[in-house]
Amino acid sequence: MASLVLGSNHVSLGQVLTALVDRSDDPGAIVWGSRVPRTVLGLVVGACLGVAGAVMQGQTRNPLADPGLFGVSAGASLAVVLGIYLADVTSVLAILWLAFVGAVVASLVVFGVAALGRGLASPVPLAIAGMAVSALLGAVTSFLVLTDEATLAGYRIWVVGSLSGRTLSGIGPALAIAAAGAVLAVLNARSLDTLALGAELATGLGENLVRARLVGLGAITLLTASAVAITGPIGFVGLTAPHVARSLVGGSHARLLPASALVGAIVLLGCDVVGRLIGGMGEVSVGVVLSVLGGGVFVTIVRRGRMAQL
């Protein structure tokens, strides 16, 4: 309700409720034209990043793991830059598909590189391969945007991460992909509980480590790719939401995954509302607000020793 009511343009709660029932009585087309789409997308993206973060931390047993660790965000960014640089792509739908394809391809490269080493049974090769691929793709992206002003102008609008200006038109495929990722995450929940005991003990209990990794990594890729494609790269949600959820419901992933989705959605929408109120008519992108508030909150949690153990 706060996301529907609060913003740079004043709309009362009564007007919002009336507009939700009767679209012809929408004051200035603000409710259905702007606030409903960004609220729906905020809920979806926040939930996707929250669940992806919980799966990521469970797979790697690393409390500082982030969904972007597997090169998802870097791959999406490079694909968008290439689209703008080579074909002058500007439409939101085209950028969405470019971002998704880039994210998936980058994840497949990371999986392939990791499989050439010690395999997928251990999370260490995946983490190392993810950081290496992310660094490489980031370097190529930086080179392109620094050598072409038009590419930089188009890329900087997308890369900050924002819900502003997004619509529900053509967003169906991204939502379907996010739903598929959520299903894989649910299927991976029991394996994540076993992996928390350690790889050797999980194997002794009959867990197929390669299958558990592939299902979990598939969930991370689909959830993060769809989120990045919709809003651009957004940090801290996937990192902090699982910790907050873990402190509330414990470490069992059957409870942790839905709790992380709820916390992620609340955090993202809350920061979006803050960005609308502090930015005046111009507004501040939710990615910027998250970088400022999310970093401070996370440091506070760590310093107070309230970060739940994996």
Task: Provide CB contacts within 8 A for 302, sequence distance 6+.
Answer: none
CA angle 230, 290, 247 (to 5 degrees): 105
| Cα 130 to Cα 143: distance, rounded to the nearest angstrom | 20
Give domain status of residue 55, yes or no. yes
Is it the case that residue 117 has pLDDT exceeding 70? no
The single residue listed with the structure tokens 């999310």 is 294
> Is 310 a domain residue?
no
Residue 15 belongs to some domain of the structure: yes
Q: Is residue 221's pLDDT more than 90?
A: no
Read off the pLDDT band of 43 (50, 70, 90).
Answer: very high
Mapped onto helix, strand or coil, the DSSP state of residue 79 is helix
Q: Could you tell me if residue 24 is inside a domain?
A: no
Q: How many domains does the chain have?
A: 1
Q: Is 259 a member of any domain?
A: yes
Task: Give the whole-angstrom CA distance, residue 125 versus residue 192.
Answer: 18
Contacts of residue 116, Cβ cutoff 8 Å, sequence gap at least 6:
none
Greatest Cα pair distance in the chain: 63
280: left (phi over 0), alpha (psi -120 to 50) or beta: left
Tokens 């691929």 identify what position? Answer: 133
110 within some domain: yes
The pLDDT of residue 233: 83
Which residue in 3, 8, 58 sits closest to 28, CA to CA?
A: 8
Measure the CA–CA gap between 180 and 174, rounded to whole angstroms. 10
- pTM of the prediction? 0.86
Alpha-carbon distances of 271 from 1, 39, 84, 285, rounded to whole Å: 14, 12, 29, 9
Residue range 197-216, pLDDT digits in tens: 877 787 787 778 878 888 98
Name the residue type at position 188: N
Q: Tell me what percent of the chain is helix, strand and coil, each rounded to the nearest 5.
A: 80, 0, 20
Give how far Cα 76 sits from Cα of 112, 137, 245, 248, 297, Å. 18, 10, 28, 33, 27
Q: What is the mean pLDDT of residues 143-165?
A: 81
Q: How many CB atoms lie within 10 A of CB 121?
A: 15
Report residue 247 as tokens.
């402190």
Question: In terms of Cα–Cα distance, which of 4, 71, 272, 45 is closest to 175?
Answer: 45
CATH of the domain at 171: 1.10.3470.10
- Half-sphere exposure of residue 76: CA atoms within 13 angstroms, side-chain side: 31
Decide: 127 and 60 in contact? Cβ < 8 Å.
Answer: yes
pLDDT tens for 258-302 read 999 999 999 999 988 888 888 655 678 888 888 887 777 767 766
Given phi > 0 = left and psi -120 to 50 = alpha, else beta, which region is 72?
alpha
- Torsion (CA) 300, 301, 306, 310 in degrees, nearest 10: -150
In a domain? residue 165: yes
Of residues 255 and 281, the one with the higher pLDDT is 255
Q: What CA–CA distance (Å, rounded) separates 195 from 199?
A: 6
Q: Is 308 part of any domain?
A: no
Residue in 39, 68, 50, 88 with CA at minimum distance from that of residue 232: 68
The range of the structural domain enclosing residue 236 comes to 2-19+29-303
Whether residue 305 is predicted with pLDDT greater than 80 in this model: the reply is no
